[in-house]
Structure 1
């Protein structure tokens, strides 16, 4: 493209106003394509979080415009926001590509996907129902669902707009108010969406966006005594810190969507060409920067050699370059992750795995890495056990069903899993026995607004999307009324 998108919003968004940080500090957001500074963004910290939480708390007051608004009206505001986002899809996609390096075509698809999440929950806003209960005694008992309150939401850099939609949509539908901290690597689209939130007509304080760093702004949000709920997507290591902070003051409700080391199992009866393509997409989507990436590819021994050859061929042909061009993969997010991925590639080579594709950086400016495939990987290797978060696929051989289920489960993670087979019994048996929050059969990472998403074990707590997503943002209140069988008249 000839011109880059114009950055319009660099301040904090608090109470529907654009403000500088109290400290007046800013921080640079970096273009991963060429390592240049895109712009400087207001750096929020504890003082700014305090202001944002106060605004959200005021907006949540029982007599506020937001709390007294009809649920159906909340849904209409969300639909208007979805329309506004859709109207700016190309601009938001280009801004996303500038900030995080993903191919612009993928970024645009993600913007449209995010509007489906908003619209799904907009339809839920006036359908959050309680129950009547046949309780013992001369009473009438029923439940109502009420918004949990002020929600702190911390989103990652790998899918900024979709993750924002995952967080704000169920919270808004439930009637909560929000303080959202985008990742410091990718603050620009969250601020652009904040402007659209104001344009859509949401009352002041309902959604606040405070860019900043995890140890300052993030820690202040998770520790804040007036925050009732924390939703975090990121690493397991940071997730533990978030959970501890949430318990420090007021036992905040917590939703954690954390790391993964997901297995994708390919059985002998699979079509090797199709299976290799599915496995490639599972491992390399978003440059491998995906929490549920299927990077442990288990292939049954009967087709193993053929599969490895095809996987290497596909990876070698994967186009890497300027994400504004027609490519499949852009740069990694930043220098830290770039160096970390290269260290894992070195560990794979030194650990005895066979590098059959890639295995090095791209010789150009920016954080580009060649799509890398390792064969002859064993379960004890570092690249088979640790989350790499980059374009690296590990292929492991197995013989029997029982063996591969045990090996697939031999991890602290449990976010996703996949199986490729033409045998429905094999597929459903694997789905039943593998310990993962999402299991895909003959596809991978097919996640929609209707399907709950979240992990077992160290991959997190709670679920996002679907009906379960609403449940993370409501409290159940039981009301019991004395109701004698014979009215006293």
Structure 2
């Protein structure tokens, strides 16, 4: 009931665009167990195709993280992730010339793992299994943050459930969790991510 290729491409684009250094980046992927392996393996394949290097070269998809402090923090979370889950790709960094961190995917994480609940703000995404769609929403809400989220499904019932129960400020369907045009579309979060929409065009009613 979902486009699995779309799910994988959306996760990779949302997690690793701008090297994961944006507030709306994807840091957690909650996948129902029936299709978990398919989505995970495809996301790993796509991630391994990403190019990284000089940001002025348009052939490079990713560049560096912003500074030494960010590099150190992200690499420390990667070490935590190696203990909490299964490293599928990435997990390496090089700060000898710039602050390069390879796009990193961890799999088979407990929903309570630190890298599933704390803000990393870098090119790291964790995968966890859900028993079904209801369980996936429960896991997704199990965080103190709530800025953006995305749901990949063709099931109308699941779409309506997510609209009611997924506690995020910006919710996307059948696309990645980044890309709102701030100034036109409402943008803001819940919980530690803010108090509803703070930006948006005049055609929207603010919460």
Q: TM-score, normalised by structure 2?
A: 0.91
Please tell me whether residue 357 in structure 1 is matched to residue 89 in structure 2: yes
Aligned length: 202
Change (3 A) 1:316 1:423: same
Higher relative contact order, structure no. (Cα contacts within 8 Å, ≥ 6 residues apart) = 2
Structure 2 equivalent of residue 131 of structure 1: none
Maintained 8 Å contact 1:415/1:437? yes
Please tell me whether residue 397 in structure 1 is matched to residue 132 in structure 2: no
Maintained 8 Å contact 1:414/1:437? yes
Change (3 A) 1:340 1:432: same
Maintained 8 Å contact 2:6/2:174? no
Distance in 1 (alpha carbons) for counterparts of 2:190 and 2:205: 19
Structure 1 equivalent of residue 180 of structure 2: 447
Please tell me whether residue 458 in structure 1 is matched to residue 192 in structure 2: yes
How big is each residue's C-alpha offset from its partner over 1:445-484, in whole Å with a ceiling of 9 and x where there is no partner? 231232110011111135112238998xxxxxxxxxxxxx
1:316 to 37, 44, 48: 48
State the secondary structure of the residue aligned to 1:384.
helix
Please tell me whether residue 337 in structure 1 is matched to residue 105 in structure 2: no
Structure 2 equivalent of residue 438 of structure 1: 170
Maintained 8 Å contact 2:31/2:136? no
State the secondary structure of the residue aligned to 2:199.
coil
2:39 to 307, 311, 316: 307
Please tell me whether residue 278 in structure 1 is matched to residue 10 in structure 2: yes
Q: Determine which structure has more spread, i.e. the larger CA radius of gyration.
A: 1
Distance in 1 (alpha carbons) for counterparts of 2:52 and 2:200: 32
Aligned 1:17-32 pairs, distance under 5 A:
none
State the secondary structure of the residue aligned to 2:188.
coil
What's the offset of the Cα at 1:406? Answer: 1.5
Please tell me whether residue 407 in structure 1 is matched to residue 142 in structure 2: no
Distance in 1 (alpha carbons) for counterparts of 2:190 and 2:201: 17
Structure 1 equivalent of residue 20 of structure 2: 288
Distance in 2 (alpha carbons) for counterparts of 1:328 and 1:368: 13
Distance in 1 (alpha carbons) for counterparts of 2:204 and 2:152: 28
State the secondary structure of the residue aligned to 2:93.
coil
How big is each residue's C-alpha offset from its partner over 1:241-280, in whole Å with a ceiling of 9 and x where there is no partner? xxxxxxxxxxxxxxxxxxxxxxxxxxxx222222100111
State the secondary structure of the residue aligned to 1:466.
coil
Compare the two structures and name the one with the higher helix fraction.
1
Aligned 1:369-384 pairs, distance under 5 A:
369-384=101-116
Aligned-residue Cα RMSD (Å) equals: 1.8
How big is each residue's C-alpha offset from its partner over 1:117-160, in whole Å with a ceiling of 9 and x where there is no partner? xxxxxxxxxxxxxxxxxxxxxxxxxxxxxxxxxxxxxxxxxxxx
State the secondary structure of the residue aligned to 1:278.
helix
Q: TM-score, normalised by structure 1?
A: 0.40
Structure 1 equivalent of residue 29 of structure 2: 297
What's the offset of the Cα at 1:308? Answer: 1.4
Q: Gaps (5+ residues) in structure 1?
A: 1-268, 472-489
State the secondary structure of the residue aligned to 1:454.
strand
Distance in 2 (alpha carbons) for counterparts of 1:438 and 1:384: 19
What's the offset of the Cα at 1:341? Answer: 0.4
What's the offset of the Cα at 1:380? Answer: 1.3
